[in-house]
Structure 1
Amino acid sequence: MAPRTKKPERRPSVSYLTDTLPSALPPIFEQAQNTTASHRKNIVQLFKVQKTCAEVTEETEKGIRLVGERAFNALFINMINRVLPVKKRVAVADRVVRFVASYVAYTTEQDTIEEEDGDSMSQRFVAKLVRHLLAGAEAKDKSVRFRVTLMLASLINGLGEIDDDQYVAIRQGLLDRARDKESAVRVQAALGLAKLQAGENVDDLEDGEESIAEVILDLLRHDPAAEVRRAALYNLPRSSATLPVILTRTRDIDPILRRTVFHGSFSSASMPDARVLTITQREEAVRNGLGDREPSVRKAAAGMIGGWFDQAECDLLEFLNRFDVVSGEVAEEALLSLFVTRPETLENIDFPDEWWVNLSPEKAFLARVFAEYCVSNKDESRLEDAMPVVTALAFRIQDQYNELVNVAGNEDDMQEKSFIVGELLRLALTSDYADETGRRKMFAMSREMIAMPDLPDALIPRCLDVLKKISTSERDLIRLIVDVVTELRMGDGDVEDPDSAGRSSSVGVSRPAPEEQHAAALIDLRCLNICIGLLERVNTPLQENSVFHGLLPDLIIPAVRNKDEPALRDQGIVCLGLCCMIDEKMAAQSFGLFIQQVASADDELKVKVVRIIFDLFMVHDIPAMLEDTIGAHRIAELVRHMVLQDAPAVQAAACEGVAKLMLAGIVDDTDVLQTVVMLYFSPDTADNQPLRQCLTYFLPVYCYSSSENQARMLSIFNDTLNHVSTFAEDFEGSPDLLPLAQMGLMMVDWLDPEKAVGNHVDIGMHLDLGIVLLKLLLTETVRDIRKAAAGYLSKLSLPEDGQADMWKTKAAFTLIQAVRDKRPMSEVAPRKALERFQATLLKQYRELEGYDEDAFRADGDEHEETSELWGFIDDIDEIPASPVKRGSRATSRARSSATPSGASDSDTPVRSRRVPQTVVEEDEEEDDDVDAMLDSD
């Protein structure tokens, strides 16, 4: 029997392309857009259609034409074109994009299975598709650009090996879209570039050409859209080059991005060993994370710290080695966070006797933080079980101090040993001193340490804290410290008193040698540091501690007079300031000296003196204190002088003091308030971050705290707006200059009555502001100011009908009509803003229905405020509004009447830093006058 022969397969004809193909693809795409469950089946079916089409060819003189492939590709692209104009977040379009990406990956995979090399059907199809998409990347329609970029980013992983030309084309297309004006497009571009990054060879780039990694880093650092920065962060590899940039995002304005850094980039899953970060970087991450205002970010940071603890094999000492416990300030926060999130770690903490034998900084630190944590959580039983008794602890401190003395001269070892002794002294504060033997031993040891001339300065406050805890009263503590200071200065009789030597020089006795003078100055400096630490810890008036009076003429006053040792003079002034804090009479006698130092001292001392002055204002009666110097009526002038100092550190300290005084209601001068506001907006202070941070908190809190404070801000609104408008000329081109409209909007927000707190909130504050703005539109001729003022009208929170003052609503309505009649707005936007405000008044307040201007004017015969309003309006000349340059502003009686009380156009701008005359006079006084002040103490 002859074998059966296989019939040859019939190749599809050209008619397949016209009859069958057009109806084959639409159902597949229709099913793909409805659900992803059918994608796999439809991909297989679509591939069969493509292969069938590929068999349709046509022979020509030039060769074989792939008419079937071209028809399939054209129809496939036609299907895609229907999706491209669809906006983002449309599910059916997203499913089609996913289907296309999956199909590209499948058809490329079939080339590998069938071992097809060279120019295959799939390669030609992908090349055609990519060229088409790249052509649409420049479309004007933002939806098309988004869909094109999304599809390119989605199909990159499925392209397999692509030739260089195609790679370069896709790369350039995505780089262009990374600068698109639409954030959604930039997100997809970042995702696509991240997928291409692995195939990029930096050596192949031309000179000056950005790498993909640099572009993604730039998006992470500078892109204004949070979703773009998040996309860049998600796809950024962790390396020594990228980690510092990622760390900066812990201060990003987007809380989701900040949380992602801790929960993702710095987590133990993404970063198996935290030591790839430097100690400084680790501490910055912990500081920013645990100090974040968002609870979710703090939680993510705590999770990051727990992951680092796991990496240290749950060993607390090894965990602490990841931080700088000696000079850093973050290790304690990290450890406390660990105690909260991993409470089981507390159960495993134990301090046996051998723990204290070879103490390291980490051991001492852990013991101290554990003890303070137990005290704060009132867990005395656990503290008592873990810690040694007071007597044993005193001996441990003594041993460590002896080791500190033995390493004198070795800076690193001294710092480490000093830290250990300091931690043990802080640990001693948590001990129970019911044991009289232990109390006496700790007291004697602390007394002996603080009397040592070579005790490190950092340990003086620690010893004082222990002595204060053990002492029975502040009087006993003061008596003890006076005895210590006396011993140090007299040197048990070995060192001659430099003051007595100086006094006797006039009768023929030789002065001490320079070496002796320097040694005596060092002893006095040590004594002043001890006195400063003491005064910071006591509140008892000096009148009740006569034993301290001897130190004033013997130590403190000579130090203030000392002209040869600046450090000694500075500490003497600080010590005198602390004395004045607890003695009002001394404060009044010494205040002139502090004023003189503001004018003549160096910047570092000025900061200290400014803080002293403001602290004295906070605790003493200001009129009584200033009566014999500049007078209480000039306190505002003095405050402004300190705020307008040139040194940024002095300015920042003064602003902190002003904020305290004004929040406490001690100073309520509007000139001071205006000066502070001007400093806040001035580009001169842009680099003074302490000042800016202080005022960013103070100004809104001050205004929201009471309607009286908002009323003060309202009284300076016009004048401040005029002053800040001059910044545009004075700081032209400065990147730190805010637009005038933005500065004014911040003041409008501070005056929002809905944000004010208290029992007597003036709900009509913004209605009052509306009247002020309308008067400004009548008197102001500078175009930028008028334009900004008109724009503020739409931001006002007006009171409800029945809650507003009827006279004020009519006054506002009258002023609107006056602006339209006498000073009409020349630009469309301000004019429409004025019209909208008028419509809002008409809609909101029923008393304006049938408003009669003549009747309202007639009310002026009985109401003085109505008469003043019409007098103000009548004095305005009917001048058409026109752009007027700064400096050509018209002046009139009406304009002066709109200026807030206490302020005028002649006020010196902030940048001139005008010095009060009183302070200048103090600066010109001779040192003999200062000596007289000190002698009066």
Structure 2
Amino acid sequence: MTADSEMDIKEAFQRAQKGHNNKAKLVASLNSRYNKLEDKTLFHEEFVHYLKYAMIVYKREPTVENIIEFVASFIFNFLLESHKASSHAVRFRVCQLINKLLGSMAENAQIDDDLFDRIHQAMLVRVTDKFPNVRIQAALAMTRLQQPKDSDCPTINAYMLILENDTNAEVRRAVLSCIAMSPRTLPKVLKRTRDIKENVRKLAYQVLADKVHIKALTIAQRVTLVQQGLRDTSETVREMVSSRLLPAWLLRVEGNVIGLLHKLDVENCADTALETLKAIFKGTLTEELPQNRAQLDNRKLIPVDSLSCENVLYWRALCEFFKAQGDDGEEMLEQVLPDAATYADFLYRYLKVVPLLTEEQRADFNQLELVMTKEFISQQLIHLIGCLDTNEEGGRKRVLSVLQEMLALPQTPSSLVSLLTEKLLTLIPDDHRRIQTVAEIISDVREPIMEASAPMDENMSRRHQVQLAEVKVSIMEAKQTLEDSIAAQDFSRAAELKDSITELENRRNQILQEVQESSQPADKEIRTEKNDPETLLRCLTMCAELLKQMGIKTRIGPTISALMSSLVLPSIANAHPAVRNMAIVCLGTCTLHSRELAKAHMVLLLQIAQLDEVKIRISALWAIVDLLLLFGFQLLSETAANLMALNSKSPDRREEDALAAEEKGDAPEDTAQSILVMLSEFLDSEVSDLRTETAEGLAKLMYTGRISSAKMFSRLVLLWYNPVTEDDTRLRHCLGVFFQLYARESRAHQEVVEEGFMPTVRTLMNAPATSPLAEVDVNNVVELLVELTRPSALIKPSTNTEEVCVHDYLAVRICGEMLKDPTAPEVRLYTKTLSNLELSGDGTVKKDLQTLLQQLEVKDRISLRGLEKMIGQLADSKEQAELLSPSALQPLDVNADEAAADDPSKSAKRAKRGTAGTRKVCAARSGRKPSRRAESSEESDGENVPESVPQVRPSRRAKTAALEKTKLDLNTLINQEAN
């Protein structure tokens, strides 16, 4: 041993006062002495004794600082040597002490580079520890070791890796609380706002509110944060966004709400901006809100020159907030909104000046942007109509007049037609008056009154000219004769000629008047039908809005029938896609009001859903799903019957069709099956929107009980897990919500899920390597299905105690699958699944399951241990003779799928091949090493937990008798079909 190794504590402290001594060697020497001692008490007392000499000196003397540095190094050295201890408790305390020591140091404190590196390396190892609590303390200990300016900082890299991959929510929370904000780490923190755990999401929003300036985020990031935060399923997360994030952003813009709206994209995300404003209003005193009025003048209106997207949206949100408060907000509403008549005139003047661009003008981006801004402002002003007090008749009539006039004007932008129609219909409570009003507007738009002049008759004009020429010649001749008579002094003749000239001049004037009247004929008014796409789209939009606002019980009258025949049905064949799409929307909405109309046009909707453009196919699909939800699949059978009657050309042919239908089966089932086949094909579509809408429609049909299909449920589960739909957020969210609601609704729904268990697992296990389904984690799918069928998950659990549990049926189904081939690789999965089932306490069920498990012969050790444990749990303390009681589960079909009937020769070969080295489950040795319990996602305490020892097997005679009895039924059940 060296001299340094034998150094005592006093000498170590004396040498440590001198800066030139290597403190690492001193620490190693002192550590060697400490390890040699059996009684550490004296060492501790002497160490603290010499430390007190340095602690009483307040002045920053170099010698004292060297002592303190030496002591810290010694303590850190001891901790760092212990961080690899086998006990997780020691590792936890080491990381905790290092965290406390580093955290208690001053902000400008410095430590030795070597010590820094050692701490760093040790904590980087511990953040990957098996136990979550150790990882948490290690992550916290590295807080002050971060170097945000270093693009390759190991600590930040470790933090980002933990945020992305750690399965424990508390570890992710710990990293969120201490990670330094930088352009590299910001995306990772933003991603945690979509974490599966609400406490992680909440902390992520808190970190963003406290550490990130609003200018550090892009507009898209701000909008996404507010949108997701205010719509989060957790109340605490929504409260965090409302009470911390939004006030923090307001503070950054000096409390200017309009300035905050400038930071958001209000034109494209008006709904998100409205939700933001309402959240801000809720946190503000009601009396203070009118003080921030959106630049209103003495008429309680925003001047037209001052209108902007932000202030008009703020005005609308403020009025709607006061309107929602009812009588309490009525007084405040009167301060920020004028009377109905005044507002109607203001709206009319603004809408009249909104320009309608030509195709050439739309090519100019600046003009297009200006018009789009004006249309957005117009939409917000139209929304404000809902806040007006229309109880006064005069103001109400003025608003109705303005809305009707704006809808009839061809200059009104198409984007405003739907909203104008909606507000118009809300002011008219009676459906019949609504229909009449909209029909008149549609008539004026499609067949406007035009003035037309009748063409002149050319023959009449020519005749008038000839007559006028003849009269002029006669007058000239008469005047010449008059002059000659006067010269000849024939005065009697001259008097006659004079009278004749007067008559001719009168005749000439009459002809001239007729010519003038014929050249200026009176104009007359006529109606000309317009069939251009823009006009048709405006009319169809008004018609669709009318049909939506009508009560579902309102019958289709003559006016609607006329609109259908003259406008909607002809537009379905229009060449313009937008016109066709709106016509399909009108047709689908109209058929909801009439069963006869639905039967007449169902085939047309089915054809369009398969043949037209994607957007139009989706509209037709919506219509089909709505009809099935309202009328059920019986509507399809009635449609098929009508078609059969129309297609039969003769009585003989009709009889043949009837006989064929009888032989084939029930027509309603065949028609429904064809619909399901079509929807199933849509689920395989490469078009994401069509696939999503189909899945949503099927989810609605299944949840309402219109469809009860295990195969369709299996398809939806596979679609949800399919990596192809990973980017389809709406599809994933829709199906995720549906699975939970559907399974919890009733036991019947859980039975559908249970029937779809085996087809889903088989599809995944048999998926070829090139299929996206090969990447799906089968264990995760099985866990989901087990949770969905858990009896305790039902909203209203069954009160029938004699009813067999769904998990009991699932257990028998799994046992039957394992009996087919005990050597199959999925047996290990089935064994694990059995241990996770929530079995009933019925003794007969337990005996049946125990008997089935005892028949299995497996050679996989993990499966073997799981089955032994399961049998031990099922073993009953009652006398084994009770195993001979009747089976409660025998009627169940344990192999409910088309693929259940495997090739017997293959099964025989597998059984023969697996005979060598196999053992009965119950004969397995129980004296193996106790297994280590899997790590819990939330708990970190406990290391080695021995498995429960299996209980004693049933007697051989009783088991054999029960086995023979059960075999008789299982052999027939294995070969049956699923349904």
**Which TM-score band (shorter chain)?**
0.7 to 0.9
Compute the displacement of 1:165 (Å).
Answer: 5.2
Deviation at 1:54, TM superposition (A): 5.1
Counterpart residue identity of residue 793, structure 2: K
After the TM superposition, which of the residue ranges 127-136 and 240-249 deviates more from structure 2?
127-136
1:421 is matched with 378
Mapping for residues 714-725 of structure 1, pairs under 5 Å: 714-725=754-765
707-716 vs 443-452, greater mean Cα deviation: 707-716
| Residue in 2 that maps onto 1:250 | 193
- Counterpart residue identity of residue 849, structure 1: E
Question: How far off its partner does 1:394 sit?
Answer: 0.5
Aligned to 1:908: none
**Larger gyration radius, structure 1 or structure 2:** 2
* Distance verdict in 2 for CA 1:285–1:895, change over 3 Å: farther
Name 1:785's counterpart in structure 2.
826
**Aligned equivalents of 1:315, 1:56: Cα separation in 2:** 61
More off after superposition, 212-221 vs 697-706: 212-221
Match of 1:657 in 2: 697
* Residues 1:825 and 2:858 are matched in the alignment: yes
* Equivalent in the alignment of 1:330: 272
C-alpha deviation, 1:536, in angstroms: 2.0
Corresponding residue for residue 579 of structure 2: 568
Distance of aligned partners of 1:179 and 1:893 in 2 relative to their CA distance in 1, 3 Å threshold: same
- 1:287–1:832 Cα change, 3 Å: same
Structure 1 residues 300 and 69: alpha-carbon distance in aligned structure 2, compared to 1, 3 A threshold: closer
Question: Which of 668, 672, 679 is residue 635 of structure 1 equivalent to?
Answer: 672
Distance 1:521 1:108, change over 3 A: farther
1:481 and 1:130, CA in 2 relative to 1: closer, same or farther beyond 3 A? same
State how far apart, in whole Å, the 1-side matches of 2:39 and 2:376 are: 71
Q: Against the structure 1 CA distance between its residues 555 and 699, is the aligned structure 2 distance closer, same or farther, given a 3 Å change threshold?
A: same
Corresponding position: 1:378 with 2:326: yes
Equivalent residue letter for 1:252: D
Unaligned runs of 5+ in 1: 1-12, 22-47, 58-62, 84-95, 496-515, 885-891, 904-937
CA distance in 2: counterparts of 1:49 and 1:395, whole angstroms: 97
Partner SS state of residue 532, structure 2: helix
Structure 1 residue identity aligned to 2:307:
L
Contact 1:779 1:895 in 2 (8 A): no
What is the CA-CA distance between 1:428 and the residue it aligns to? 0.9
After superposition, what is the alpha-carbon deviation per residue over 1:622-652, rounded to whole angstroms, capped at 9, x for unaligned?
A: 3234423385313144124213321332222
Of 404, 420, 439, the residue aligned with 1:482 is 439
Distance in 2 (alpha carbons) for counterparts of 1:416 and 1:483: 31
Aligned equivalent of 1:439:
396
Q: Give SS of 2:858's match.
A: coil
Question: Which residue is equivalent to 2:247?
Answer: 306
Give 2:285's aligned amino acid: P
Normalised by the size of structure 1, how large is the TM-score? 0.73
Aligned to 1:232: 175
Deviates more, 1:683-692 or 1:657-666: 683-692
Q: Per the alignment, do residues 243 and 77 of structure 1 end up closer, same or farther by CA in structure 2, a change over 3 Å counting?
A: farther
CA contact (8 A) 2:422 2:545 kept: no
C-alpha contact 2:98 2:141 (8 A) present in aligned 1: yes
Matches for 1:424-573 after TM superposition, within 5 Å: 424-493=381-450, 520-539=532-551, 544-562=556-574, 564-573=575-584
1:282 and 1:551 map into 2 onto residues whose CA distance is 46
Q: Which among 356, 368, 378 is matched to residue 302 of structure 2?
A: 356
Opposite residue 323 of structure 1, the aligned amino acid is L
* 1:266 positional shift: 1.1
Range moving further from structure 2, 436-445 or 643-652: 643-652
Q: Which amino acid aligns with 1:320?
A: L
Provide the C-alpha distance between the structure 1 equivalents of 2:228 and 2:889, rounded to a whole number of angstroms.
58
In structure 2, list runs of 5 or more residues that go unmatched. Answer: 362-366, 453-527, 642-666, 895-899, 916-967
Of 337, 340, 348, which residue of structure 1 is paired with 2:282? 340
Aligned length: 782
Q: Shift of residue 452 of structure 1?
A: 2.7
> One-letter code of the match for 1:218?
L
- Show CA shifts across 1:682-739 (max 9, x none): 444444433332222222322221122223333343344333322375648954x012
Offset from partner CA, 1:763-813 (integer Å, 9 cap, x none): 63322333323323323446233332232222232334xxx4xxxx43652
Alignment of 1:151-190 (within 5 A): 151-156=97-102, 157=105, 160-161=109-110, 167-190=116-139
What is the correspondence of 1:770-809 to structure 2 with a 5 Å cutoff? Answer: 770-781=811-822, 783-800=824-841, 804=842, 809=843
Aligned twin of 2:351: 401
Following superposition, the deviation at residue 613 of structure 1 comes to: 0.6
Question: Conserved in 2, the CA contact under 8 Å of 1:150 and 1:188?
Answer: yes
Contact 1:722 1:785 in 2 (8 A): no
CA distance in 2: counterparts of 1:145 and 1:494, whole angstroms: 95
Aligned partner of residue 354 in structure 2, secondary structure: helix
Three-state SS of the structure 2 residue aligned to 1:388 is coil
Cα distance, 1:534 vs structure 2: 2.2
Match of 1:726 in 2: 766
Q: What residue is the counterpart of 2:952 in the other structure?
A: none
Partner of 1:750 in structure 2? 788
* CA-to-aligned-CA distance 1:253-300 (integer Å, 9 cap, x gap): 232222222334314xx44x5333233222222222222222222221
Indicate yes or no: 2:879 matched with 1:849. Answer: yes
Contact 1:587–1:616 under 8 Å retained in 2: yes
- SS state at 1:218 partner: helix
Write the letter of the residue equivalent to 1:556: V
Match of 2:850 among 813, 816, 821: 816
Match of 1:114 in 2: 61
RMSD: 4.5
Aligned partners of 1:774 and 1:816 also within 8 Å: no
1:766 aligned counterpart, secondary structure: helix
Which residue is equivalent to 1:587? Answer: 598
The amino acid of 1:292's aligned partner reads D
Residues 429-466 of structure 1, C-alpha deviations (whole Å, 9 max, x = no match):
12222222211211111111122334333322221122
The aligned amino acid for 1:796 is L
Q: 1:538 to 1:251 in 2, by over 3 A?
A: same
Quick check: 1:897 aligned with 2:973? Answer: yes
Q: Kindly state the Cα deviation for residue 820 of structure 1 after the two structures are TM-superposed.
A: 2.4
User: How far apart are residue 471 of structure 1 and its match?
Assistant: 2.1
Q: What secondary structure, in the 3-state scheme, does the structure 2 residue paired with 1:817 have?
A: helix
Inter-CA distance 163–451: structure 2 relative to 1 (3 Å threshold):
same
The answer as to whether partners of 2:258 and 2:310 remain within 8 angstroms in 1 is yes
Q: Which residue of 1 aligns with 2:341?
A: 391
Of 203, 210, 217, the residue aligned with 2:160 is 217
Taking the aligned partners of 1:64 and 1:624, their CA distance within structure 2 comes to: 92
User: Partners in 1 of 2:693 and 2:882 — Cα distance?
Assistant: 55
Name the SS for the 2:880 alignment partner: coil
CA shift for structure 1 position 588: 1.0
Decide whether the 8 Å contact of 2:209 with 2:249 is kept in 1: no
Partners of 1:141 and 1:251 lie apart in 2 by 35
- Please tell me whether residue 318 in structure 1 is matched to residue 256 in structure 2: no
Matches within 5 A, 1:856-871: 856=885
Residues in 2 aligned to 1:308 and 1:201: alpha-carbon distance in whole angstroms: 25
Q: Which residue of 2 aligns with 1:292?
A: 232
Structure 1 residue 738 corresponds to structure 2 residue 777: yes
**Is the 8 Å Cα contact of residues 134 and 170 (structure 1) preserved in structure 2?**
yes
Alpha-carbon spacing, 1:899–1:153, altered in 2? closer, same or farther (3 Å)? farther
**1:246–1:261 contact (8 Å) kept in structure 2:** yes
SS of 1:783's partner is coil
Cα offset for 1:248? 1.7
Query: Shift in Å at residue 406 of structure 1?
Result: 8.2
Residue among 716, 728, 733 paired with 1:693: 733
CA distance change for structure 1 residues 230 and 699 in 2, over 3 Å: closer, same or farther?
closer
Selected match of 1:675 from 715, 721, 743: 715
Q: Deviations over 1:46-94 (max 9, x none)?
A: xx9964575899xxxxx999998775455578899999xxxxxxxxxxx
Q: 1:80 and 1:721, CA in 2 relative to 1: closer, same or farther beyond 3 A?
A: farther
**Alpha-carbon distance in structure 2 between the residues aligned to 1:393 and 1:566:** 37
